[in-house]
């Protein structure tokens, strides 16, 4: 009996993006960031107060990613990230309007999209490119859209929660598309560079069993030391 081909929809792609958000923010801040199990259908994407970030991607499919952080969520993520990087708490910014906060949140957005694009390239066997993320401190809602028309655009909003229960939102617009798996293929194994470096470090920390030649040499040195001690030298 023939199996129905596996189909990956726009919402499946959105789920991959949500996983990238939670994975990157949780690992870089050493805290728990989670997304809601429900997704909201929206008609337009907006930048909202207090800190909004957006990036456009194109290639195999086109789309727009917007993340809107409240001031408490942005500060919590920023401070946790910087403390993980070894920065003293006394030297950290306290306001979401600080340029340093905007720069850090923009870098985290870049890491999120990099993780997402890597997953898309490997699991869907297509290639997409992103624009440099733009981070804006705003006090009014701004509607934002891609200059070119999307093919039957779909737009979604997903809420996220930080470890301290501060809420932020991801808004996502893209082509209505499907990827259909026609043939089996081996996706490349996912690996975390930090895990690879940690494993490499452990190998260097663990000492190998000394060779017989080394053991013999060490024994001769010990015997010589014992003889000198007996002679009082």
Structure confidence at residue 95 as a pLDDT band (50, 70, 90): very high
Question: How confident is the model at residue 196, as a pLDDT?
Answer: 46
Label residue 222 by pLDDT band (50, 70, 90). Answer: low
Res 201: pLDDT? 55
Average pLDDT, the chain: 84
Give the CA angle between residues 21, 73, 115 to the nearest 5°: 15
**C-alpha to C-alpha distance for 185 and 156, rounded to whole angstroms:** 30
- Residue 213 has a pLDDT of 52
Upper half-sphere CA count for residue 26 (Cβ side, 13 Å): 13
Cis? peptide before 108, omega within 30° of 0 = no
Sign of the Cα torsion 18, 23, 24, 30 reads: positive
What pLDDT is attached to residue 225? 58
Mean pLDDT, residues 77-99 taken together: 94
Alpha-carbon span 32 to 220, nearest angstrom: 56
Mean pLDDT within 151-159: 91
Distances (CA, A) of 45 to 54, 68, 151, 165: 10, 11, 16, 24
Name the more confident of 221 and 160.
160
Strand (E) or helix (H) holding 219: helix 212-230
Residues of the chain above pLDDT 70, percent: 76
Q: Which of 44-48, 153-157, 218-222 has the lowest mean pLDDT?
A: 218-222
**Range in 28-42, 111-125, 173-187 the model is least confident about:** 173-187
Average pLDDT for residues 134-145, to the nearest whole number? 89
């Amino acid at each position: 009996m023939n199996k129905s081909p596996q189909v990956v929809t726009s919402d499946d792609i959105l789920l991959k993006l949500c996983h990238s958000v939670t994975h990157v923010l949780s690992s870089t801040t050493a805290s728990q960031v989670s997304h809601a199990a429900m997704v909201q259908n929206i008609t337009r994407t907006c930048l909202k107060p207090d800190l909004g970030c957006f990036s456009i991607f194109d290639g195999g499919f086109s789309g727009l990613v917007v993340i809107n952080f409240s001031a408490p969520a942005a500060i919590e993520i920023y401070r946790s990230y910087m403390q993980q990087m070894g920065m003293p708490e006394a030297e950290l910014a306290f306001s979401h309007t600080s340029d340093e906060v905007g720069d850090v949140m923009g870098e985290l957005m870049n890491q999120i999209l990099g993780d997402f694009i890597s997953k898309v390239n490997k699991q869907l066997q297509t290639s997409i490119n992103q624009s440099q993320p733009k981070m804006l401190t705003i006090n009014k809602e701004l509607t934002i859209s891609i200059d070119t028309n999307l093919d039957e655009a779909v737009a979604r909003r997903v809420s996220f929660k930080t470890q301290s229960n501060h809420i932020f939102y991801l808004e996502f617009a893209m082509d209505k598309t499907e990827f259909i798996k026609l043939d089996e293929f081996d996706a490349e194994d996912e690996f975390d560079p930090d895990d690879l470096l940690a494993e490499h470090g452990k190998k260097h920390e663990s000492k190998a069993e000394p060779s017989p030649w080394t053991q013999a040499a060490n024994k001769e040195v010990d015997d010589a030391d014992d003889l000198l001690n007996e002679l009082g030298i």
